[in-house]
Amino acid sequence: MPPYAPSAVTDTPPGTTARSQLDVAGALSTLLREATTEPRPDTQLEALTLAVAADLPVLLWGEPGIGKTAALTQLAASLDLPLTTVIASVHEPSDFSGLPIIGDDPALHGVPMAPPDWAVRLVRAGRGLLFLDELSTAPPAVQAALLRLVLERRIGALQLPPGVRIVAAANPRSSAADGWELSPPLANRFVHLQWTHDHDVVVRGLGGTWPRATLPRLDPSQLPRAVDHARRAVCGLLAARPTLVHRLPSGETRRGGPWPSPRSWEMTLHLIAFATAAGSSRDVLSLLVRGTVGDGPGLELLASMDRMDLPDPEELLADPAAAVLPERGDLRQAVLDAVVEAVRKRPEEARWDAAWALLARALETGAPDLVVVPATSLAALRREEWDVPEAIERLAGAVSLSRRADRATARAAAATNGTR
């Protein structure tokens, strides 16, 4: 008897049928699928929910099997939104632009474009999460048909209701089955998020507990300030860097990702406002900004925003004893340099003395090496008739020690190079 042939003798207990064994197997499978959720800090999940709350189309990029589909399923369940999954690569362009249906009198009423059934169900529900999967395996003709769906939320003559959110997923071309690069017009309509796995999240999830996706809590009292902050951030950068308003990448691969355009800057403005009102971390904001306008413009914007909220040098000079300096070293250095520059522009003995008091305060509350350059520059601004303030004596030791350390480092580096 072949090893794969059914045996007349089984180990099934008397009275137990094959059907009941399948039921038991089904029960075991159900138990394996059961899982709970817990609140857990997750930067990429928070960025995804923030973009969904802002009603912006999101595209998750990740290798096959990384958990993009599972994350979207869990997100829909957490937000109590019915999930509609559409595999873009197995559809025709007419599935998104609508199928022409001949009516009673085409000359009078025209030829309407009938939407697909999944779009009709979304409209009837009035809300939902539309998941466009395998986007990078959709051919260019299908990508072109998706343009209106993603931007205008229209399928044929049907308008999706405001309660529908759009999220897509794609594999990089190198790991996609017969993959295509995304067309620049379609890519520019998405917030691109790189989806990676977290070892601890995977292990705990396989144990039955996954992170919980929750919509951000927006502070109603912060909404006007959030809008003002976002507009000042984006407009301030683009006023200083006009070439960033629209910059289509030269390479085909980069054109299929995030890049700056008036459309993507508008999305960035919305994301900054939502992140500000929600009190999101800088890491979350960084993912969203870089995923909308690209790494280079996004990092420039983040650096500009860091400096946008720095204290006014004139206010610090007016009351150095009450000055609150940034904790981050690069921002503190920028503030101290700005104070010295303010004294250079309007050199007065009282302002010079206040700047030394401020440097002394910086020495007490931060790294000593940060005051070396500002102290050297400030000392060069002294006029002959100005008295030397007491604060200089407190700074002299730190400046001298820092310089000796720099010289020792230089000598060690020269010695190392000499032995090679």
- DSSP per residue over 159-188, as a string? E--TEEEEEEEE--GGGSTT--PPPHHHHT
Q: How far apart are alpha carbons 138 and 186 in whole angstroms?
A: 12
Domain shared by 183 and 52, yes or no: yes
Structure confidence at residue 245 (pLDDT): 95
The upper half-sphere exposure of residue 111, i.e. CA atoms within 13 Å in the direction of its Cβ, equals 5
Distance CA(62)–CA(193), nearest Å, equals 9
For 343, phi then psi, to 5°, come to -70, -35
Helix (H) or strand (E) holding 86: strand 83-87
358 contacts 320 by C-beta, under 8 angstroms: yes
Q: Where are the alpha helices (DSSP H) in 223-348?
A: 223-240, 252-255, 262-278, 282-293, 295-308, 313-318, 329-345
Asked whether residue 17 is assigned to any structural domain, the reply reads no
Question: How do the pLDDT tens digits run along the chain, 420 residues long?
Answer: 444 444 444 455 555 576 788 889 999 999 998 888 888 888 999 999 999 999 999 999 988 888 888 888 888 888 889 999 999 888 888 888 777 776 666 666 666 777 888 888 999 999 999 999 888 888 888 888 898 899 889 887 788 999 999 999 998 876 655 667 888 999 999 999 999 888 888 888 888 888 888 888 999 999 999 999 999 999 999 988 899 999 998 887 788 999 999 999 999 999 999 999 999 999 999 999 999 999 999 999 998 898 887 888 888 999 888 888 888 888 888 888 889 999 999 999 899 889 988 988 888 888 877 888 888 888 888 888 888 787 776 676 655 544 544 454 455 556 556 555
Shared-domain flag, residues 142 and 169: yes
Q: What is the mean pLDDT of the chain?
A: 84
Among residues 211, 233, 262, the one where a domain terminates is 211
What is the predicted pLDDT for the residue at 365?
82
Percent of the chain at pLDDT above 90? 35
Task: Tell me: do 52 and 192 sit in the same domain.
Answer: yes
DSSP secondary structure of 3-61: TTSPPS---PPTT--HHHHHHHHHHHHHHHH--EEE----HHHHHHHHHHHTT--EEEE
User: For position 408, what pLDDT does the model report?
Assistant: 44
Amino acid, res. 225: R
153 and 263, same structural domain? no
* Residue among 351, 347, 349 at smallest CA distance from 319: 351
Tell whether 6 is covered by a domain: no
The CA–CA distances, whole Å, from 272 to 26, 59, 186, 254, 286 equal 47, 18, 22, 23, 10
User: For 104, which DSSP code?
Assistant: S
pTM over 0.85: no
pLDDT at 145: 87
DSSP code of 247? Answer: -
Residues 369 and 293 in one domain: no
Tens-digit pLDDT profile for residues 201-260: 888 888 888 888 888 899 999 999 999 999 999 999 998 889 999 999 888 778 899 999
Residue 13 lies in a domain: no
CA angle (406, 407, 410) in 5-degree steps? 90
Same domain, 270 and 394: no
What is the pLDDT at residue 110? 65
Same domain, 303 and 350: no
Residue type present at position 18: A
Tell whether 82 and 179 lie within a shared domain. yes
Cα 303 from Cα 331, distance rounded (Å): 10
Residue 7 lies in a domain: no
Q: Is 328 contained in some domain?
A: yes
Domain that holds residue 171: 39-99+113-211
Q: Could you tell me if 226 and 285 lie in one domain?
A: yes
Same domain, 326 and 273: no
Within a domain: 51? yes
pLDDT, position 7:
46
Sign of the dihedral through C-alpha 392, 398, 402, 403:
positive
In a domain, 243, yes or no: yes
* Residue 384 counted as domain residue: yes
pLDDT score at 377: 87
89 and 160 share one domain: yes
| Residue 14: per-residue pLDDT | 57
State the DSSP code for 381. Answer: T
Question: Domain end: 154, 188, 211, which one?
Answer: 211
Domain end among 262, 281, 308: 308
Domain count, the chain: 3
- 118 and 206 part of one domain: yes
